[in-house]
Amino acid sequence: MPIVYLSSERYHEISQGHHELRHEPFVIKEADNVILHISQVKLNTSSQFAMSFCEHCFKGITHEGTPKGKWEKIGGVDVYVATPSRDYPKDKAILFLTDVFGPQYINNRLLADDFAENGFRTFIPDYLNGDPIPADALVDGGGLNFDLDSWRPNHGPDKTRPPLDKVINALKEQGITIFGATGYCLGGRYVFDIAFENVIKAAVVSHPSLLQIPADLEKYMAESKAPLLINACEVDHSFPHEAGAKADEIFGGGKFAPGYKREYFEGCSHGFAVRGDMANQKAKAGKEGAFKAAVEWFNSHL
């Protein structure tokens, strides 16, 4: 069955109720000290998050459209649920683990809808507890209009992992036995964590952040049974070229029996798979390519 690209097509089909692209990039002014501050963010926790957020974690294009899913309370947690319009396996689900903008950010919900249109019921747990970095925190002309110092201590693993676990446990009680997970930026960290515990059967990470390299790759190799797809890009200080090369060294050449693949998207920056500028041909190709690779990965391994 061909892969459905609803959010990509909607940028151009405004008259049919499809997405319009709003050219309002949220850019942190590089002259501000906040760039240095953000690039040095590290979470000092038991998970030993060594790689930091980067400036591109807070940049991107906000897309317009009308999400088709709905909000539900699952395990006491707010969850955005995107359900396929056609028949789908009721025992399977995709966990969509977001960046710092959470499920409230429209780009994340529209992308979850796209997974649903390809036959996967998709859940976005609000593990940021209703307190994401709002998309409108980045004002016109640059500059971060947001108190990151106050936000950061309340969004470490001790606060954000429990809601994720509640949702997973509640979905299991509903009869879901097979999980895939796709994670973006911060969400990539959690894909690794639940893959370590073999909660999921297939893993996709796109421009992941907060990973310790090579330790987390080595731990994945030793402990996880979930086939791993990494969507990497040209400009990514959170998952740089050296990290991709190390992943290839550890998993590649058939060394990771469950399955491994790394896609590389030239001309794209960290965040491209969710917040890419669809008016830029390379960014558009990257966003669509990362989505296509993820759908094919789940089709092959779930």
pLDDT digits (tens, 9 = 90+) for 62-116: 767 899 999 999 999 999 999 999 999 999 999 999 998 999 999 999 999 999 9
Residues 6+ apart with CB under 8 A from 62: 22, 24, 26, 105, 106, 107, 135, 275
Calpha distance 95→166 (Å, rounded):
13
Distance of CA 182 to the CA centre of its chain: 6
- Strand-pair category, 228-235 with 202-206: parallel
Lowest-pLDDT range of 30-39, 44-53, 226-235, 242-251:
30-39
Residue 48 pLDDT greater than 80, yes or no? no
Lowest-pLDDT range of 32-46, 142-156, 227-241, 273-287:
32-46
Residues 6+ apart with CB under 8 A from 153: none
Band of the pLDDT at 30, cuts 50, 70, 90? very low
**Predicted local confidence at residue 263, as pLDDT:** 97
In the numeric block, which tokens belong to residue 292?
A: 């296509």
Mean pLDDT of 142-160: 79
Full set of structural domains in the chain with CATH: 6-301 (3.40.50.1820)
Calpha distance 2→142 (Å, rounded):
40
**Predicted local confidence at residue 283, as pLDDT:** 87
Residue 7 pLDDT greater than 70, yes or no? no
Calpha distance 182→154 (Å, rounded):
23
pTM comes to 0.82
Query: What stretches of 52-181 show up as alpha helix (H) in DSSP?
Result: 106-117, 148-151, 157-173
